[in-house]
Chains A and B, each alone.
Chain A
Amino acid sequence: MTVSSDAGEPKFKINALYKIFGEEPEIALKALRDRNLTKSELLEEYNHVLALEDINFNAKAGEISVIMGLSGSGKSTLIRHINRLIEPTSGEIIYGGNDILSCSADEIRQIRREKMSMVFQNFGLLPHRTVIQNVGLSLEARSFSRKRIFSEAEKWLDEVGLQGYEGKYPDQLSGGMQQRVGIARALASNAEVMLMDEAFSALDPLIRSDMQDLLLKLQKGLRKTIVFITHDLDEALKLADHLVILKDGKIVQQGDPQRVLVEPEDRYVFDFVSDTNRARVLRVRTIMEPISSSSHMFIEGEIDQEETLETMIKLSGGDISKNYLVKNGVDSVGIAKMERLLEALVPVKKNEIRSKEI
């Protein structure tokens, strides 16, 4: 598991989190631990659903952590533990030095109002309120003055490109616009953590791509700690600084999304990543090799480390014998070979790579 991002300290840490749905989760948890049951055995013998199993993950400040998994893998359950919309069966979530899961009702309400905002798959807007009243929701919960709520809300509506829609009702807007309202509402609370549960899944592909761009643009200026949930790999790769792959309530792999792409840990992740257009998402830094003084090779030109492989292919005009010097700003950080690039375009399982190296 590689963690390569250089961003700040963890904003919050999830340690050994378990969630079991059912009548008596404590008993089921004990049985799970003592007898090493699987998810399906627990369902069969105890009629309890094991939604999350031993989740450990840190969300770094200022990064977008993307949690990806198929339907029913426990993504929504996981994200709802962070602001405690769901009570855990066992485990802890450390935020600001405290365990969120042992906060009092007042403390958790405080955190929800000021520290953590949330964006929902089906927007979760109040249908009986105008756009601007929706955006001001968290400020209203904090009983700010009307004037202040209005000016804050107005500011964030402009930020998401919805000026002029203040007085409309949610059902008068398109899906994409409604989710912009949802994002403005999250931003207006001025929270440092933003939880997004399949925020763009209900939108059609073009609008979806727009919204991803909007999020990235906002994130550049705001540097929030975002937890983003999706079941779409392309979306995950576009947004993620840190990628977590969830399967049946368990984390099967997490780390730098580029690493996950080139070194999938198991069959499940492999199947996930083999469908994607790798030339478009893999970056030059992922395939570069260290500069070694011993080898004498012909360098064709220079390329930035954050460029995609697609750009490099274009640059080379399809000639597979070419090599490029990889730059990070002004520094030279490695060599990228077209040969290596071709190899990286074919998905390979991590252990296959290993066996080849031996």
Chain B
Amino acid sequence: MSIYEPVFSAFGLTEWCQGGNGKGDNLTSLTDLVAKARGEGSANLSLWELPFPSMDALHASCPAFPKSRELSKGIENVFLDIKDSLSLVLDPLTQPLSWLLEGSLWLFETTPWWIMIPALLAIVMLVGRSLVLVCFVAAGLIGFAFVDYYSFAVQTLAVIFVCSLLCVIIGVPIGIAMSRSNRLQRSVIPILDMLQTLPAFVYLIPLIFLFSVTEPKLYGIAIILYAIVPVIRLTDLGIRLVDVEVLEAATAYGLTDRQKLTKVQIPLALPNIMAGINQTIMMSLSMVVIASLVSAPGLGVLVLRGIRNLELGVGLLSGLGIVVLAIILDRTTKLALARITPGHRR
């Protein structure tokens, strides 16, 4: 494997390579033997077998060269080094998130079912104004309760409620700021792209380093980071799509920037913002299931139990429960969206 050795010697680095340990010599002769056995010169190994000059391949030719694991170890060490100071700042900053999640979970769990279910139905009726949807939601909730998944479903709802709310509270202003500055937009979009394309599990890794797994804020942050992207994107898009002549009219009649924002831009961007909120809620739901790996409560826990203990029925039933929850959340927000979209009002 010491195919790259000539490269190192060409640069006069043989000394440096063998500085680490004396194995280099052995390896060379071994390769030479192999090459001889094939009846070729050591330099012209078949092109097909030429390994990529990766860290590991170079290490084989030159023991002083670091292996790739050493790189990832380095990253780990950097992380461990800054961890303490970082969590000193982040911990108090994110503590309210833990309180919010705990509070919301407490509220959803301690409210008796005979108050909770009618209250949820009333909200759905208020937002969606559709009897069919209310019946579907009622059937879904009663179904959950009947198979004893009610408390899990309600936990999931509690987490989604807090996280989506925070996504909107944080995301809408960011979207508005982005729509007003091209520079800001250019710098934020790559971050959003990254947040959206990173596999959900990868989020969890640095967070596990920073926070203890028992704290709710760990999964809270993961969910918010993952789900906030659409609401930011669509707020920005929605405001940028507002008809320039309408905005010009508002300027021409002496509206201040603030008046333009609240009286023209946000109302006209609302359908897009609502579409963003819908997607945010759906993404929170998918993340809360994955976040059960880091102790997020709810239906995800059941799915995980299904996988761990090979309890096929539990896994499938809770999976079905998540689908029902998704449909409920999606339909309700879509109906609300349709109501505020021009052409559907009156």
Contact = CB atoms under 8 A, between A and B. Distances in A.
A35 to B, nearest CB: 33
B252 A109 contact: no
Interface stretch (A116-124, A145-153, A217-225, A339-347): A116-124
Given A120-B248, A124-B249, A127-B342, 14 more contacts: A83-B252, A109-B254, A109-B256, A117-B253, A118-B249, A118-B252, A118-B253, A123-B245, A126-B250, A127-B268, A137-B253, A140-B263, A141-B253, A189-B253
A169 interface: yes
Nearest to B345: A169
A141 B263 CA distance: 10
A247 interface: no
Interface in A80-131: 83, 85, 109-114, 116-118, 120-128
A111 B253 CA distance: 9
Interface residues of A, number: 30
A137 B268 contact: no
B9 interface: no
Contacts of B251: 85, 112
B322 to A, nearest CB: 36
Nearest to B340: A128
Contact of B346 (A109, A124, A140, A169): A169
Interface string B41-65: 0000000000000000000000000
Which residue, of B252, B256, B267, B345, has the highest number of chain A Cβ atoms within 10 A?
B252
A138 B254 contact: yes
Tell me whether chain B's interface is mostly helix, strand or loop, or mixed: helix
Nearest to B342: A127
Contacts of B252: 83, 85, 112, 116-118, 124, 195
14 contacts: A113-B253, A118-B249, A118-B253, A124-B248, A125-B246, A125-B249, A126-B246, A126-B263, A127-B268, A128-B342, A137-B253, A138-B253, A141-B256, A169-B342
Interface string B267-285: 1100000000000000000
Categorize the interface residue count of chain B.
20 to 34
Interface string A59-95: 0000000000000000000000001010000000000
Interface of A: 83, 85, 109-114, 116-118, 120-128, 137-138, 140-142, 169, 171, 185, 189, 195
Interface of B: 245-246, 248-256, 259, 263-264, 267-268, 342-343, 345-346
Contacts of A118: 249, 252-253
Nearest to A111: B254
B253 A127 contact: no
A135 B42 CA distance: 88
B245 A120 contact: yes
Contacts of B264: 126
Contacts of B346: 169
A262 to B, nearest CB: 36
A141 B249 CA distance: 12
Q: Which 9 A-B pairs have the closest CB atoms?
A: A124-B249, A113-B254, A112-B254, A118-B252, A138-B253, A124-B245, A109-B254, A128-B267, A141-B255
Contact of B254 (A110, A122, A124, A195): A110
A239 B253 CA distance: 24
B267 A85 contact: no
Contacts of A127: 246, 268, 342
A121 B245 CA distance: 9
Contacts of B256: 109, 141
Contacts of A113: 253-254
Contacts of A83: 252
Contacts of A124: 245-246, 248-249, 252
B245 A112 contact: no
Contact of B249 (A110, A120, A142, A171): A120
A171 B342 contact: yes
B340 to A, nearest CB: 9
Nearest to A195: B252
Nearest to B253: A138
Contact of B248 (A85, A111, A114, A141): A85
Contacts of B249: 118, 120, 124-126, 137
A176 B216 CA distance: 59
A195 B249 CA distance: 11
A85 B263 CA distance: 19
A117 B254 CA distance: 9
Given A128-B268, A171-B342, A141 B246 contact: no
Contacts of B259: 141
A123 B345 CA distance: 21
A303 B248 CA distance: 48
Contacts of B268: 126-128
A195 B252 CA distance: 10
A114 B252 CA distance: 11
Nearest to A134: B249
Contacts of A110: 254
B19 to A, nearest CB: 57
Nearest to A106: B256
Nearest to A122: B245
A226 B314 CA distance: 76
A317 B218 CA distance: 96
Nearest to A182: B249
Contact of B253 (A112, A122, A128, A169): A112
Nearest to A114: B254
Nearest to A139: B253
A137 B246 CA distance: 12
Contacts of B254: 109-114, 138, 141-142
B60 to A, nearest CB: 55
A137 B250 contact: yes
A81 to B, nearest CB: 12
A273 B125 CA distance: 65
A54 B197 CA distance: 54
B37 to A, nearest CB: 69
A85 B251 CA distance: 8
B331 to A, nearest CB: 24
B343 A171 contact: yes
Nearest to A185: B253
A78 to B, nearest CB: 15
